[in-house]
A and B are shown apart, each in its own frame.
Chain A
Amino acid sequence: MALLEVRSLSFGIGNRTILDDLDFQIDRQEIHALLGSNGTGKSTLAQLIMGCSGYQPGAGKIIFDNQLINELPIYERARLGITMAWQEPARFEGVGVWDYVSLSKSDAEPAACLDRVGLDPALYVGRLLDKTLSGGERKRIELASVLALRPRLAILDEPASGIDMLSTGEIAGVILSLKREGSSVLLITHREEIARIADRASYLCKGKIIDTGPPDEIAEQYKSRACKVCDGVICR
């Protein structure tokens, strides 16, 4: 039984269709990679699942653990165990890194979570989650906060963007450990080498999932831009 089920989901902005009758599932304790070119609607799907404002489905159902969640506000979805790390995480004046990673009610140690994402906890005790952090640091802290939450579903939108290439393996390790600890992961990426750590992958184009299967296969398909829907027009 799937943990998350998206059925016939449509969403548009103005008169432009972004997601078109899309079907998608994530199993329990599955890392599911979502591949697609820039602008195909990956972040849009993420925000629909999380329930961000302005992201109400035009049609279709979002079902989490057998419960229809279309109408639930973001904080109630969070209470069900869904969380999201934004592609561009927000910055906060005056909010400490430590406090932020401690927001979860779980027993996870903030220091341990920071350590796991490759940040030396001692260096971040007094730091704020504001503009003084580099983009890569901010992304890592977001991952640490997701670890601390112990979510049932973690939506990670481009978790490795802004993080140096050499650390890609480190980030992959964190995602695998999320799964080991019981989370399902929606791993959004346009980098096929990251998608390969997933259990399954889906390929998004023209508002639809055009293929789902083993990550290596989907990644190859994505890499060669062998898109059956747009004929390489969008998937360039």
Chain B
Amino acid sequence: MSNLNDMMRVLGDYYTDAAILANRQTAHLVADGTNLLSLNEIPGVSIAAETRGEEIHAELIVREGVHIINPVHMCVGILAPDGAQIIRLRTRIERHASARLIAHCLFPNVVAARHVMNAELEMEEGAQLVYSEGHYHGMSGNTEVMPKARLRIGPGARYFSDFSLTSDRVGKLTLDYAVTVDEEAVAELTARVFGHATDQIRIRDEMYLNGKHARGLIKTRVAVDGRASSEVIGITHGNAEGARGHMDCMEIVREQAIATAEPIVKVTHPLAKITHEAAVGTVDQKQLETLMAHGLSPEQAVDMVITGMLR
């Protein structure tokens, strides 16, 4: 019942031109539940995947010195109304290689589903990765999604990630990232989530700035309405000379929703510096009034502020 064409149609509906999966110059991996539907390797990019029992085990390697032009696409999720998907993904970006990786996580027909991603990423010296992960969970609110990642950003490497779940329902999201940043390396983690009704959002980002002059940013943008809840925990460790970290959390809370933000700073080296800012609360009154003075209704003004924040 589930096949590649269905997945491509869904991909086209929610995200992007599905023709990317037909392009042989674009590396990809497509899986529906525990079924591997398609895999394409290109020179410099190795992808291996297999189903082991209830889990998909996958490995992605970008070879030393290779600069991948087309983003690598990983298209996962569950097309059936229910089911579970557990993915173990190991990724390695070898020395001085660079790539973009885009993950599409689609649950378009979901009534009740569970998705677990256990990712390990190794970025070798001087490597660069721009990673974006977009989720679509449908309208049921019965999706449980647990993205967990352990990342190591090697000396001089650069890693940028962007997690986005901003249309329709979230369900229950438990995001858990831990990043170790080596000497002269950079890591920036961004998460953008919009929760409604009874959605539950938990985001935990922990960053260890272990190398000299390591730099890290944790940026979180959450909006919640209805009776949704959001809990954001950001932890940054400054463990080396010249390490610089910043956490920037903004949560907009409306109706009966609740939100917490907990930035934790741990500095063990006197020449490290970590800063943080958190703004949790209703939509800023001056922003709303500015937009209303330009003729927007209160609803349109709220919408514009939230949409902008989550962009």
| Interface residues in chain A, defined as those with a beta carbon under 8 Å from any beta carbon in chain B | 50, 52-53, 73-75, 77-79, 82-84, 86, 89-90, 92-95, 100, 103-105, 145, 149
A94: B residues at CB distance < 8 A: 307-311
Contact (Cβ within 8 A) A74 B293: yes
The verdict on B291 contacting chain A, using a C-beta distance below 8 Å, is yes
B304: A residues at CB distance < 8 A: 92, 95
Q: How far in angstroms is the closest Cβ of chain B from A88?
A: 9
Q: How far in angstroms is the closest Cβ of chain B from A102?
A: 10
CA distance A74 to B297 in the complex (A): 9
Q: How far in angstroms is the closest Cβ of chain B from A92?
A: 5
Q: How far in angstroms is the closest Cβ of chain B from A80?
A: 10
Given contacts A53-B285, A90-B290, A92-B287, 15 further A-B contacts (CB under 8 A): A73-B298, A75-B292, A75-B293, A75-B295, A75-B296, A75-B301, A83-B293, A86-B286, A93-B311, A94-B308, A94-B309, A100-B294, A103-B295, A105-B295, A149-B294
A93: B residues at CB distance < 8 A: 221, 250, 308-309, 311
CA distance A78 to B309 in the complex (A): 24
| Interface residues in chain B, defined as those with a beta carbon under 8 Å from any beta carbon in chain A | 221, 250, 284-287, 289-298, 301, 304-305, 307-311
Contact (Cβ within 8 A) A95 B298: no
Given the interface contacts A52-B289, A90-B287, does A103 sit within 8 Å of B294 by beta carbon? yes
CA distance A149 to B221 in the complex (A): 31
Ranked nearest first, the 7 interchain pairs of A and B with the lowest CB-CB distance are A94-B308, A94-B311, A75-B292, A95-B308, A103-B294, A90-B290, A74-B292
B305: A residues at CB distance < 8 A: 92, 95
CA distance A105 to B295 in the complex (A): 9
Instruction: Write 29 A-B pairs (CB below 8 A) sorted by A numbering.
Output: A50-B293, A53-B289, A73-B298, A74-B293, A75-B292, A75-B296, A75-B297, A75-B301, A77-B293, A78-B294, A78-B295, A82-B293, A83-B294, A84-B293, A90-B286, A92-B287, A93-B221, A93-B250, A93-B308, A94-B307, A94-B309, A94-B310, A95-B305, A95-B308, A103-B294, A104-B294, A105-B295, A149-B294, A149-B295
